[in-house]
Structure 1
Amino acid sequence: MTTTPLFSREPGAHERHLRRRYENPLFPPERRRIGDRDVLAARLRDQQHLEAFLERFHQVVQRAVNLDANVQSDVILELKEELDRCYEEAAGLAGDQARIKEAIVKLVGTIMRAVRQGAEHDAVALRKLDEEDQARSLHYELLEEPLVADLLNPEDVIPEGDLIPALLGCEPAVLEKVLTLFSPEQMTVMIRDARSLLENTTLEAGVLALATTNLVRMEAAATEQAGTHTVN
């Protein structure tokens, strides 16, 4: 008799992907079989990732606090980019990282205000900063979806072979967000692989219906992308 592994309530990226794979018929049989040892190993990796992140984040915060008032703009922009990467990474960590993400937003806001002061008489630069702020806000919002955070995880949490099963098995609303991460060329390959998977896998009606819906949405998104690129 097999028992369901005991997953965490707020898992990190590695354990979260085990939950996607667990008894999921879209994955190959060997990828569906998940035991307690697998969960414990994934949880350990997530904990190590969290600890390493917290150490790096503390160093970044110290650099931000110790910035000289006359520091050059390229140093400020490099720090801002590092904070953006920190937010991206924090979004996929185990546990509740809301306070860390809030702290990053505040730090980035402080840095951007300093950058704006230096460009206060340059209308073109200010417009570009507005566009950057909007893009950052949308990206941060996108990262609230765990699958997005896991796909962007620097530790390659979702291997290439797991991508299509993960996409075909997620909720359509989640897929809509995830598809914004991929280029038209990537979408073409993904659609080809998704069709192949569905043609060569026997699935129960409910799973097949969801996977087919997601494939249709992928095809529609690819068409939309092609139209946008043609217009541009």
Structure 2
Amino acid sequence: MSLLFSERPGRHERHLLRKHENPLFPEAARQLTQAQLREAQRRDHEELVAYIGYLRGLVGEAVALGPHEQSDVILGLKERLDQAYETACRLADDQTPNKEAIKKLVEVIMRSVWKGSGNDSLAHQELEQEEIARRAHYELLESPLVADLLDPESPIAQDELLPALLSADQAEFEAAVTLFDPVQLKALLTQAVSQPIPDASGEIFEQGVARMEQIKARAKSLQVE
């Protein structure tokens, strides 16, 4: 019986798909049954339903903000909206409408923060830097692998991190590898010693070797010993 995959999987199903018949993962992890797939889809659906309710609550809070709301309340809501954007990037189905709604709400909040900063040039500089960083972060989250790696409850186990990176497509790999600081890169290189790429042929193995060289090059550029 053929497996029935979702058109737009959530984080649980997506990670099963990463491992499915992927020779860079341990053999036991590559096997996938319809029961496992259904369970992952069920969990993804439950998370989606819970998220929709949570997001509606955030929108309600944003709409209810008064013109003289305290700054800590405004910034607290903005932080939760940023977190909600991250969550949306991990969920099943097309989350574009929700992400666009969050962006608009954050823009409204930031206009209020800008207005409250008055003529403070230092505050303006910090706000500009924050906006640049937020746009870059949102763009980075468009990579499903990045979104899953940044998940506080990531489905990617520590011993699955290296094969997940090595088997990613080039764009996802390049985005994901920027998340790792020198200490984490060193840990990846150490993991590569204990989890060497299998000695085999084929495109996925060649890709894994190439990705490993890219990780070593980035580690060298960051002066990781």
TM-score by length of 2: 0.95
Letter in 1 for 2:182: P
- Structure 1: unaligned runs, 5 residues or longer: 228-232
- Distance across 2 between alignment mates of 1:188 and 1:7: 36
Runs (4+) of structure 1 exceeding 3 A deviation are: none
Map 1:1-232; keep pairs closer than 5 Å: 3-198=1-196, 201-226=198-223
- Distance across 2 between alignment mates of 1:54 and 1:92: 13
- Distance across 1 between alignment mates of 2:126 and 2:222: 24
Contact 1:50 1:94 in 2 (8 A): yes
Letter in 2 for 1:56: Y
- Distance across 1 between alignment mates of 2:171 and 2:49: 32
- Identity rate, percent: 42
Letter in 2 for 1:212: V
Report how far residue 223 of structure 1 moved: 2.2
Contact 1:25 1:203 in 2 (8 A): no
Contact 1:142 1:177 in 2 (8 A): yes
Name the CA shift for 1:154/1:49 in 2 (closer, same or farther; >3 Å): farther
- Structure 2: unaligned runs, 5 residues or longer: none
- Distance across 1 between alignment mates of 2:223 and 2:111: 37
Contact 2:24 2:205 in 1 (8 A): no
1:57-114 residue CA offsets vs partner (Å, 9 max, x unmatched): 1111111111122111111111111000000000111000100000000000000010
Letter in 2 for 1:223: K
Question: How many correspondences in the alignment?
Answer: 224
Letter in 2 for 1:187: L
TM-score by length of 1: 0.92
Name the CA shift for 1:193/1:85 in 2 (closer, same or farther; >3 Å): same
Letter in 2 for 1:218: I
